[in-house]
């Protein structure tokens, strides 16, 4: 049976409204204008430090505020679960894959504490045998190390699949040498055709068949 690892933000959950809330709380404290939801979506994907950097640049906040703003951002981030939603069909797809015997994991650039907080909030934690956040290792995606670590934690010598929504995820999968399934409704900035992927999907109901397709191709 294969090991399937998922990205989190923009793949299983639409967390941008909560992340926007954290960002705008910080900006408000600093007396600055808020950022839009579109800006928020475009800043997600490379981890919290890069998010804060992009947010600062959008509001001309000098570089010497990075450490302090990053710290405050991460401190507020744990509680940012109230406006987040699970994408339609995710739970059903996870159930189907689990009952078909697949081992499931998470590899996200979201820091591990808010990652676990939001999975707990939705009662999803138990569905994943291993969970890797953006600060679980000294490096994060697109470095393939956390993705490799996730598969190793799932154990055994099984086919591997990564499911994500972004350019960063595609690069991570490519560097890890694993087939990539692209969820098209998340936070990508590039047309689907320009993101390397094995297959793309816009509805989680399609996922079990796509997984089966990857495995047939791998035989």
Ligand X SMILES: O=C(O)COP(=O)(O)O
Contacts of 31 (CB under 8 A, 6+ apart): none
Known binding residue 18? Answer is: no
Binding site for ligand X (CB under 6 A): 7-10, 44-48, 51, 108-110, 134, 166
Q: Is residue 171 involved in binding Mg ion (CB under 5 A)?
A: no
Nearer to ligand X, 75 or 212 (CB): 75
Q: Which is nearer to ligand X, 166 or 214 (CB)?
A: 166
Q: For this structure, is 38 an active site residue?
A: no
Closest separation between CB of residue 143 and Mg ion, Å? 15
Q: What whole-number distance in Å separates Cα of residue 137 and Cα of residue 36?
A: 31
At 33, give phi and psi (nearest 5°). -65, 145
The single residue among 10, 133, 142, 146 that binds Mg ion, judged by CB under 5 A, is: 10
> Which CB atom, from 35 or from 170, has the smaller least distance to Mg ion?
170
Which partner in ligand X, Mg ion, none is near 48 (CB below 5 to 8 A by kind)? Answer: ligand X
Is 9 one of the annotated binding-site residues?
yes
Which 137-166 positions form the footprint of Mg ion (CB under 5 A)? 165-166
List interacting residues with Mg ion (CB under 5 A).
Answer: 7, 9-10, 165-166
Residue ranges of the binding site for Mg(2+): 7, 9, 165
Residues with catalytic roles: 7
């Amino acid at each position: 049976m294969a090991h399937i690892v998922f990205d989190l933000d923009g793949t299983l959950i639409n967390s941008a409204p909560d992340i926007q809330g954290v960002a705008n709380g910080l900006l408000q404290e600093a007396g600055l204008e808020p950022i839009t939801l579109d800006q928020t979506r475009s800043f997600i994907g490379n981890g919290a430090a890069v998010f804060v950097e992009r947010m600062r640049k959008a509001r001309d906040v000098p570089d010497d505020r990075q450490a302090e703003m990053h710290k405050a951002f991460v401190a507020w981030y744990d509680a940012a679960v109230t406006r987040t939603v699970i994408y339609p069909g995710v739970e059903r797809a996870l159930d189907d894959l689990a009952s078909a015997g697949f081992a499931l994991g998470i590899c996200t650039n979201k820091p591990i504490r808010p990652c676990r907080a939001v999975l707990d909030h939705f009662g999803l934690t138990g569905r994943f045998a291993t969970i890797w956040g953006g600060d679980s290792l000294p490096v994060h995606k697109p470095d393939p190390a956390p993705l490799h670590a996730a598969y190793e934690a799932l154990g055994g010598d099984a086919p591997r699949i990564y499911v994500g929504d972004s350019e960063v995820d595609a690069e991570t999968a490519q560097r890890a040498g694993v087939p990539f399934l692209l969820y098209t409704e998340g936070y990508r900035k590039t047309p689907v055709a320009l993101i390397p992927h094995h297959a793309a999907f816009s509805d989680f109901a399609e996922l079990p068949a796509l997984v089966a397709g990857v495995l047939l191709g791998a035989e």
